[in-house]
């Protein structure tokens, strides 16, 4: 099975799990919170967080497209591969240099969004997304911290650089927002 096919199947299964949880929570009615100015600000901050996540995972998608191999060949036709690779690599240089800073800012903006809109710990998808965000932030920190042992950096790279965690964060937060809206 090709890696693109595996990624599509994984995304579909993750979406089915999220939809299944959504259906089981159909009778759930979240506690009424009065709409305040801070809630409105929190919703706008959530949109900023969404765009920061798009920025981060667009970089990941560009890295996958610029790699040699079958996954990249499925994303970019062979005739434009050389031109697109040089363009992609040119775009990736500043994205790679700013990734850690944008990642920290994204995590901070998401946590601010959660603090202003509300902690919905009764929703399992929220707990999973929060855990994945902490997971990504913690192992991203170990990658950049200069006092990290070499083995910890290697392990951190393996678990931080997984596109599947981004897929889970995206799908679970999207479906989780259905429950609170």
Dump strand ranges (E) for 26-177: none
| Highest mean pLDDT, choosing among 15-19, 22-26, 62-66, 83-87 | 15-19
Which pLDDT tens digit goes with each residue over 127-176?
999 999 999 999 999 999 989 899 999 999 888 888 889 999 999 999 99
> Is residue 28, in this structure, part of any structural domain at all?
no
Q: Tell me the percentage of the chain whose pLDDT exceeds 90.
A: 53
> Is residue 33, in this structure, part of any structural domain at all?
no
**pLDDT score recorded for residue 68:** 59
**pLDDT score recorded for residue 117:** 92
> Is residue 53, in this structure, part of any structural domain at all?
yes
The residue among 70 and 128 whose pLDDT is bigger is 128
Q: How far apart are CA 58 and CA 44, in angstroms?
A: 21
Q: How far apart are CA 178 and CA 181, in angstroms?
A: 5
**pLDDT score recorded for residue 71:** 58
> Is residue 29, in this structure, part of any structural domain at all?
no
CA-based end-to-end distance of the chain: 38
> Is residue 30, in this structure, part of any structural domain at all?
no
Q: How far apart are CA 179 and CA 29, in angstroms?
A: 8
Q: Number of structural domains, the chain?
A: 1
> Is residue 32, in this structure, part of any structural domain at all?
no
8 Å CB contact between 14 and 168: yes
> Is residue 131, in this structure, part of any structural domain at all?
yes
Domain range for 170 is 3-22+38-180
Confidence band of 75 (pLDDT split at 50, 70, 90):
low
Task: Name the pTM for this structure.
Answer: 0.84
> Is residue 43, in this structure, part of any structural domain at all?
yes
Q: How far apart are CA 27 and CA 124, in angstroms?
A: 15
8 Å CB contact between 116 and 40: no
Ranking 27-41, 64-78, 133-147, 155-169 by mean pLDDT, the lowest is 64-78
The residue among 159 and 73 whose pLDDT is bigger is 159
Report the chain's C-alpha Rg in angstroms: 18
- Residues 110-119 have a mean pLDDT of 94
């Amino acid at each position: 099975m090709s890696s693109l096919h595996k990624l599509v199947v994984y995304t579909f299964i993750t979406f089915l799990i999220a939809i299944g949880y959504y259906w089981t929570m159909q009778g759930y009615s979240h506690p009424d919170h009065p709409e305040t100015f801070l809630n409105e600000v929190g919703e706008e901050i959530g949109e900023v967080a969404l765009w920061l996540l798009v920025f981060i995972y667009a970089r990941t998608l560009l890295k996958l497209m610029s790699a040699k191999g079958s996954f990249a060949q499925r994303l970019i036709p062979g005739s434009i591969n050389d031109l697109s690779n040089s363009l992609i690599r040119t775009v990736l240089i500043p994205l790679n240099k700013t990734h850690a800073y944008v990642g920290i800012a994204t995590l901070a903006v998401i946590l601010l969004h959660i603090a202003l809109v509300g902690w919905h710990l009764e929703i399992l998808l929220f707990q999973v997304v929060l855990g994945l965000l902490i997971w990504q932030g913690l192992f991203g920190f170990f990658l950049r911290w200069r006092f990290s042992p070499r083995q910890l950096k290697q392990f951190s790279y393996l678990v931080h650089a997984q596109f599947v965690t981004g897929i889970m964060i995206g799908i679970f937060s999207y479906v989780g927002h259905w429950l609170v809206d």
